Chain A
Amino acid sequence: MATSEEQLRAMMIAGLEGNAEAHAALLSALVPILRAYCRQRVRNDPDEIEDIVQEILIAVHTRRSTYDRSRSLTAWLFAIARYKLVDHFRRRRHLRFIEDASEMPLAESLENADSARIDLKRLLEQLPRKQAKAIWDTKIEGLSVSEAAASAGIGTSDIKVSVHRGLQALMARIRGDK
């Protein structure tokens, strides 16, 4: 049911004079108008639209004394609706900005970690396989010496020696490369 400006204004003025029924009728009549207004401007998310509609209704209620009875009600209403909509967008953008900010460094560090892993692999490929695997398991994967020994099927002291020799060889190679 579409309600005309005249009807809305009559309800508004009755509400301003303390008629609670007229005020409730006004707010109910505004709901479809505001939904349509928001639907044109917000991507199709019914929950979000309903959120904004409710915010506008609360503003219409709490700020109703700013309505000048000699002026257009819809102009007043849409001024409030526009303000609340902009406010909603501003807050959401702010929120999205925070989300972006927290995700970005994370993504970047993951990328860095990935490229470090690749460099390390290339370096380890130059070592004998036993030493490379010992270093990878204990230093990168974080296995204990006995776990690494079990996984490689060799003794714990063998692992220790392999790690030690392998690291020394890598150090020498890096120094030599410079």
Chain B
Amino acid sequence: MAVAARKTSGGGRTDRGAAAETAVDPAVSEVPANNPPPFTEAEDLSAYHEMLLIRRFEEKAGQLYGMGLIGGFCHLYIGQEAVVVGMQMAANEGDEVITGYRDHGHMLACGMDPRGVMAELTGRRGGYSKGKGGSMHMFSKEKAFYGGHGIVGAQVSLGTGLGLANWYREDGKVALVYFGDGAANQGQVYESFNMAELWKLPVVYIIENNKYAMGTSVNRASAQTDFSKRGVSFNIPGEQVDGMDVRAVREAGQRAIDFARSGKGPYILEMQTYRYRGHSMSDPAKYRTKDEVAKMREERDPIEMVRKRLLESHKVGEDELKKIDAKVREIVNDSAEFASHDPEPDPAELWTDILVEVRA
């Protein structure tokens, strides 16, 4: 009965599955018209190194997952490297970073030890969380990285609290709160926007629009796909940024961070980016065409863009880039080697870190 009723009354609706049939989603290939100032050679070299480290690290993590050394859920950041690297170039030391579960790139960009991150992925003693957190849950107060959270959108209210603590302590720091286009549809995001603007908290909300909320494209999941407008009714300024161009990210990031640090309140940056891999390692990403991914890799790859600039504009030699490549591979291989041989956690760890005073 219920099924029949839905069929007859549903004539006015658009077919919600239709967008999935489109070969290349038009929203995917749109690029915001940012025109950022050029990087110096040193800046491009630094960005190249940082982004390459994330990419190679993630590729290695993918391999270790395939070998069964990494279990659980493992979300790779490949394709999105320019976002966190550009933002970190704009941030001050001590500005806090918090994100969801696609967090490896953020941790590396915050300067966390690749060995400690990889060893957490393999669940070893030397991992940042001593093997108790895994891919989605790491933390480093020293590097101002506040996790690593597995519930979609929850880091937005927590991150607002980081800004609240900055405001409370008047320490001049800004909280950088990362979440995706999928998390942008969670309710607590808007509670957070309201509170942050009401109290003029020093928070930059960075919406990493990688075009897919798990397996659902932005057009099929979001009524308003311009995420920079999501703060309009709270009077929070926002802008769309070419998140594949590290220069555009750094420039917009600087503007947003300066705004927040000066006491004017929060700022929203929608980073138009793209993830090359599936949502997690267990996702074959059949909801999009191979052409769409190939086109993005070919035309918009954040690392290739910098590499090209280094070779053509800065006249950096291939040899020098090869040296960077080799150095990055060495760091990544070392982390994998460490993470493969570091001992597994002692069973006694099971009972530590639950409460200050542990009582069975």
A joins B in a complex: no
